[in-house]
């Protein structure tokens, strides 16, 4: 479990993290979302004792991180996959981390296998692709088989195979009862991975809720209607309180009217309908809406979304 209470970080007059409080529970994947510059990485660095809070505190399993003697058996973290010593072989990089916490050398071989890096273990890390560096960073986080894991944008640079591997890994780790805290930008991926969502905007927590709940309340959800009598149907539906917008391909996106009611109205007016489909709201939609509400300058949500991909 990770507990963050009133965590604040000021750089001079600028407040990067502003009175942030949340709890990351074990047994589920908690997604940590927010635009670039919202303070996600700073929060993670404070949880790991790398940066000192200006106020408040963070605890892991009830203790401040810097009180741990050999933390890797309790906490594993991947902050920046690029932060590796280019001249060193993957094996030696992991071996030095393992040694610092008195972990047996056999653990190095085990995590190399688990991360799919066994064949490149003796190669210098500098020649690794970003995807391989992500795997190496995750291998390092798993060295001590910790109960709490923090990942900052772990799917960046991974190929589809790697993305699925990470998704499965995180779900498995949570299913084993571990605490999994993942910061990320890729909404579609986060929607598949996370059970719980914490959204940070301008240094503050703006959402802390279950994934399903967040999508349901944060996004509209609508009904896609395809009809040869589009204009007429739109008029009818609007007359009954629906909000109708035209899709680029001529279909109608109908909101604020029940699915069944749309079909009944079409039938009552003798209008042929070729397709009628309910569309679920997406995490992306819910996220962009909440970020759009929060940001003082509109571009931030869009930039935060684009830069992570």
Q: Distance between CA atoms of 3 and 22, rounded to whole angstroms? A: 6
Query: Which C-beta is closer to other proteins: that of 50 or that of 271?
Result: 50
Please identify which residue in 13, 52, 268, 299 interacts with other proteins, judged by CB under 8 A.
Answer: 52
- The piece of 67-75, 163-171, 229-237, 292-300 that touches other proteins (CB under 8 A) is 67-75
Strand, helix or coil for residue 9: strand
Give DSSP secondary structure letters for 101-141: TT--HHHHHHHHHHTT-GGGTTSBGGG--HHHHHHHHHHHH
Evaluate whether 83 touches 152 at the Cβ level (below 8 Å).
no
The least distance separating other proteins from the CB of residue 44, rounded to whole angstroms, comes to: 10
304 near other proteins, rule: CB under 8 A = no
Number of chain residues interacting with other proteins (CB under 8 A)? 35
The least distance separating other proteins from the CB of residue 112, rounded to whole angstroms, comes to: 16
Give me the 125-164 binding string for other proteins, x by CB under 8 A, dash otherwise: ---------------x------------------------
The least distance separating other proteins from the CB of residue 95, rounded to whole angstroms, comes to: 6
Q: Distance between CA atoms of 146 and 151, rounded to whole angstroms? A: 13
SS3 content of the chain, % helix, strand, coil (to 5): 40, 25, 35
- Token reading at 258: 């029940």
- The piece of 42-50, 113-121, 197-205, 214-222 that touches other proteins (CB under 8 A) is 42-50
Q: Distance between CA atoms of 308 and 179, rounded to whole angstroms? A: 24
The least distance separating other proteins from the CB of residue 66, rounded to whole angstroms, comes to: 4
- The piece of 22-30, 61-69, 173-181, 192-200 that touches other proteins (CB under 8 A) is 61-69
Q: Distance between CA atoms of 68 and 24, rounded to whole angstroms? A: 19
Query: Which C-beta is closer to other proteins: that of 69 or that of 119?
Result: 69
Of the candidates 78, 89, 85, 189, the residue with the CA atom closest to the CA atom of residue 139: 78
> Which residues, numbered 79-118, are part of the site for other proteins (CB under 8 A)?
79-80, 82-89, 92, 95-97, 99-102
Query: Which C-beta is closer to other proteins: that of 29 or that of 98?
Result: 98
Q: Distance between CA atoms of 200 and 206, rounded to whole angstroms? A: 6
The site for other proteins (CB under 8 A) is made up of 45, 48-52, 65-72, 75, 77, 79-80, 82-89, 92, 95-97, 99-102, 140
């Amino acid at each position: 479990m990770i507990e963050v209470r009133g965590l604040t970080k000021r750089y001079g007059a600028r407040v990067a993290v502003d009175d942030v409080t949340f709890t990351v529970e074990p047994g589920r994947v908690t997604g940590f979302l927010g635009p670039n510059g919202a303070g996600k990485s700073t929060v993670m660095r404070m949880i790991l004792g790398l940066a000192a809070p200006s106020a408040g505190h963070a605890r892991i399993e009830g203790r401040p991180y810097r009180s741990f003697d050999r933390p890797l058996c309790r906490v594993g973290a991947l902050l920046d996959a690029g932060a590796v010593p280019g001249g060193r072989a993957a094996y030696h990089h992991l071996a030095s981390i393992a040694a610092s916490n008195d972990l047996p050398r056999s653990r190095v071989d085990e995590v190399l296998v688990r991360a799919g890096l066994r064949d490149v273990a003796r190669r210098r890390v500098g020649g690794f692709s970003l995807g391989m560096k992500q795997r190496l960073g995750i291998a390092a986080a798993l060295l001590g088989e910790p109960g709490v894991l923090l990942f900052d944008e772990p799917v960046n640079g991974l190929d589809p195979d790697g993305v699925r591997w990470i998704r499965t890994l995180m779900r498995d780790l949570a299913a084993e009862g571990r605490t999994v805290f993942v910061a990320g930008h890729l909404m579609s991926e986060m929607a598949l991975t996370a059970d719980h969502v914490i959204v940070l905007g301008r240094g503050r927590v703006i959402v802390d809720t279950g994934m399903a709940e967040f999508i349901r309340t944060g996004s509209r959800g609508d009904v896609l209607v395809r009809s040869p009598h589009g204009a007429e149907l739109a008029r009818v539906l609007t007359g009954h309180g629906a909000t109708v917008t035209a899709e680029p391909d001529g279909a109608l996106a109908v909101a604020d009217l029940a699915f069944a009611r749309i079909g009944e109205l079409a039938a009552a007016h003798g209008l042929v309908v070729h397709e009628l489909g309910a569309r679920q709201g997406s995490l992306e939609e819910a996220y962009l809406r909440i970020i759009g509400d929060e940001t003082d300058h509109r571009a931030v949500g869009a930039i935060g979304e684009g830069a992570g991909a």
